[in-house]
Structure 1
Amino acid sequence: MKEPSEPTVEDLPEHVRRNRQLWDARHSEWYGAKAREQWAAEPHWGLWRIPQRDLPVLPDDLAGKDLIELGCGTAYVSAWAAWAGARPVGVDNSERQLATARAMQREFGCEFPLIHGNAEKVDLPDASFDVAISEHGAIGWCDPYLWIPEAARLLRPGGELVFVRNSTLLTLCVPDEGPAGPTLLRPQFGLCRLEDESEGADGASGGGGGVNFHLAHGPMVRLLRESGFVLEDLIEVQAPENATTDYDYVDHEWARKWPSAEVWKARRVGT
């Protein structure tokens, strides 16, 4: 696989520049400690840390498959895939996140390519991968009308796209600061680009100057179909009993009543 060339900062779209600045600034010792914890753990998902056996996100058989993680952060998902037999490549917009990922690779003895770049435009050949995955990465921080067609380009026919994101209901109910409540705070029609000016945790509660993206179910299904995918599953995630989280934009009581996250699974059609 050739070494990709990275565009200059000036060549990047405005929201990509802002999100790069945000995540390079946001990355801290807390994220480093979380990275080590995630790398050492069995696969689990989202803010409630639901085990893979209870919330099957990774495909069952990854042995020998080429996998790309779009918005990999500290690359623990790619590491889990590597230990399951896949050949992962991680792409992330933040060099500081990738620096921690490289440190974890050395510490855990698990090497795979890491690319500093924009998941909306990846400098890799067409049809290079069998699986594309994003856990609160590209799905929350990249323009869906750019990164989903790009994932389709990168996947071979029959390849799988899997992403984990905040639920549409959570996105509609979470305020700029504090946890989600039972009141709708923003319209669903026209939902796509969300400007974050506060200093909240993770994508839903504020990005400190970053830009989040979220499409409601109808537009997302149409975009997947137009990009060459067939939707195979949509899992609305309920918080398990007695689960806890380190994040502050949704509490356990809310997440027992309404879905706080969604897992989408789609397959690339074509020959």
Structure 2
Amino acid sequence: MSEDLPEHVAENRRYWDGMAADWVDRGEKAWAQQPQWGEWQIPNAELPLLPDDMTGLRAIELGCGTGYLSAWMRRLGASVYAIDNSEGQLSTARRLAEVHGLPDIEWVHGDAEHVPQPDQCFDFAISEYGAAIWCEPNAWLSEAHRLLRHGGELVFLGNHPLAMVCSPMDGSLPVTDRLERSYFDLGRLDWRDAVDEPGGIEFNLPISAWLRLFDRIGFDVIDYREIQAPVAATGQRGAVTAEWAKRFPSEQVWRLMKRRLP
């Protein structure tokens, strides 16, 4: 592990490399299905994060994990560049790309806050969790802005700030019906000493802070969605129970556009 990496990048690399094997089965299932989003597997027809046709688009996935989202974009016609902080996760992605006959996705081991690609070389950028929660917001959003052409879109899905506010300070699971921490103090969430599932450093912000950050960097908001668990959902997904997520938003989706030149 490089000593030059920021603390959160190094910790998240250790964390995800250490549990990469636990995500193989979920990755294999996702590679074989149509696009479905988040912990509650909302179909793309109901939550349209990807266009129906991506022919001719150059797309980047920021924090690709096992690579299923990149596979979905490739099947829709995009040329795809996929970067992830975990070599263990990328090993699964590369293997599944061969299994599914998609050898031309470009898999890159690296930090989504520093992507080794030139300015304005992508039409579309996306993160489902990945950079959306594991990277420092100003850093990765500024990098996504640099990489996108003017008018290019960035879509990202991650934890809703309310779910973070209802997460106990000791890191125990699941989230509660109480306000456990300050909404206005959201930012860096260090789970290394968590009671349950210790490890990793996440980030989240109050919604007003997200909006100010987008504006300062140069993104306009096209859409914002707060995800509700389906009526038929049961059990627990990650840190959230289905009953909680039917009453409160556990996940959020932002769709942004890089401002066009005047």
TM-score normalised per structure 2: 0.94
Structure 1 CA distance, aligned partners of 2:234 and 2:27?
18
- Provide TM-score, normalisation by structure 1: 0.91
Per-residue deviation at 1:37? Answer: 0.2
Map 1:116-155 to 2 at 5 A: 116-155=109-148
Does structure 1 residue 259 correspond to structure 2 residue 249? Answer: yes
| 1:22–1:207 CA contact under 8 A, matched in 2 | no
Amino acid at match of 2:199: G
What is the CA distance between 1:248 and its match in structure 2? Answer: 4.1
Q: Distance in 1 between matches of 2:58 and 2:243?
A: 39
- Are 1:215 and 2:205 counterparts? yes
Q: Identity across aligned pairs (percent)?
A: 44
Q: What do residues 112-171 of structure 1 show as CA deviations (whole Å, max 9, x unaligned)?
A: 101100000111100010011000110110000100000000000000000001111111
Q: Distance in 1 between matches of 2:230 and 2:11?
A: 35
Gaps of 5+ in 1: 1-7, 201-205
After TM superposition, the structure 1 stretch with the greater mean CA deviation from structure 2, 49-58 or 207-216, is 207-216
Query: Does 1:42 pair with 2:20?
Result: no
RMSD over equivalenced CA pairs, Å: 1.5
Stretch of structure 1 that moved more, 76-85 or 191-200: 191-200
2:52–2:76 CA contact under 8 A, matched in 1: no
What is the distance in 1 between the residues matched to 2:50 and 2:217? Answer: 22
Partner of 1:84: 76
**Shift, 1:198, TM fit:** 4.9
Instruction: For 1:64 and 1:88, locate their aligned partners in 2 and report how far apart those are by CA, in whole Å.
Output: 11
Query: Given residue 235 of structure 1, which amino acid in structure 2 is its aligned partner?
Result: R
Q: CA deviation at 1:59?
A: 2.8
Amino acid at match of 2:221: L
Q: Is the 8 A contact 1:228 1:270 kept in 2?
A: no
Give the counterpart letter for 1:26 in structure 2.
M
Partner residue of 1:73? 65
Q: 2:44 is matched with which residue?
A: 52
Any conservation in 2 of the 1:48–1:245 contact (CA below 8 Å)? no
Residues 208-254 of structure 1: per-residue CA shift (max 9 Å, x gap): 23110001111111111111100011001111111246634111111
**Inter-CA distance 245–100: structure 2 relative to 1 (3 Å threshold):** farther
Cα distance change, pair 244–40 in 1 and its aligned pair in 2 (3 A): farther
What is the aligned length? 258
SS of the aligned residue for 1:56 comes to coil
* Structure 2: 5+ residue stretches without partners: none
Structure 2 CA distance for aligned equivalents of residues 162 and 248 of structure 1: 21
